[in-house]
Amino acid sequence: MSVILSSKAQLEQSLNPYWKRGATIGFVPTMGALHAGHCSLMHAAKAANEVVVLSIFVNPRQFNDSADFDKYPRTLTEDIKCAETEGVDFIYLPSYDELFSGQSVASEVQLNGLDLSMEGASRPGHFRGVVEVVYALFEHVNPSNAYFGQKDFQQLAIIRAMVSSLKLPVSIVSCPTLREIDGLAMSSRNLRLSQSERQEALVLYKALSFVKKHWKNRPSMEVLDQAKQLIAASTLRLDYLLLVDPDSLLPIANNAQSAVVCVAAYCGEVRLIDNMLLLAD
């Protein structure tokens, strides 16, 4: 049975025995609406740590659209059942005031330009909000290892940059993107899609797969243009489709040994993102 904690004081009281004896603490920060992708993070944390903490907090600071924040799926009862099934020891439900009680060094941390492209360009302030909440959660939990999904590839790179810049004593563990049987990346936002939109959203996986198949044999811009045409022929509205370096997130040359193709598009009112890691044969 997972222990539910709703304050920093409760969290500290519960984790203090583990901190004192240097136990490994695995941490899975989420915004709830848990799905199998989150379960894979919990499973990885459970396998590698003595105790596992999962947090659920829908962070308003990373939403540049208040309507998007209001409509974000909230399924707390189901989330708690999911976490308990996965054997999570503690479920942390922090309050906004405790997370953001004062000025944070995360507000000024240098992100080396990683936050300027893709999601950063489309959602001003988004990554600063992400960095601030993740830093605050790390301060509260003091984890040994923290687990994030590769579906949010840019976010993962930025959190790693924050940890490196601030020399935080936590290892960032990335876990592969989980997909539905038809290829759609698992996402809490999928709950907002109608049945027809859910089918239309599959074009993102088709476009990424097209780039993966052809990126080493044909000019990058030509491949990207054809992938964009696939999306243009659907009902989705493309935000971006880019081929970037996995570390710098800058556009890559044709002779790169590895790359990530990243996409964002609107399916109805719902903004979906996805990516696919590409490696030269």
Give the C-alpha separation, 172 to 159, whole Å. 8
The model's pLDDT over 139-186, given as tens digits with 9 standing for 90+, comes to: 999 999 999 999 999 999 999 999 999 999 999 999 999 999 999 999
Candidates 38, 43, 126, 140; catalytic one: 38
Name the CATH superfamily, with its identifier, for domain 3-175.
HUPs (3.40.50.620)
Q: Does the annotation mark 214 as catalytic? A: no
E strands, 94-211, in order: 145-149, 171-175
Tell me the domain boundaries of the chain.
Answer: 3-175, 190-276
Q: For 29-86, what is each residue's pLDDT tens digit?
A: 999 999 999 999 999 999 999 999 999 999 999 998 889 999 999 999 999 999 999 9
Q: Which residues pair with 147 in a beta bridge?
A: 173
Instruction: Give the count of beta carbons closer than 10 Å to the beta carbon of residue 195.
Output: 7
Instruction: Name residues whose C-beta falls within 8 Å of residue 19's C-beta, 6 or more positions apart in sequence.
Output: 25, 142
69 contacts: CB under 8 Å, gap ≥ 6: 58, 60, 63
The verdict on domain 190-276 having CATH code 3.40.50.20 is: no
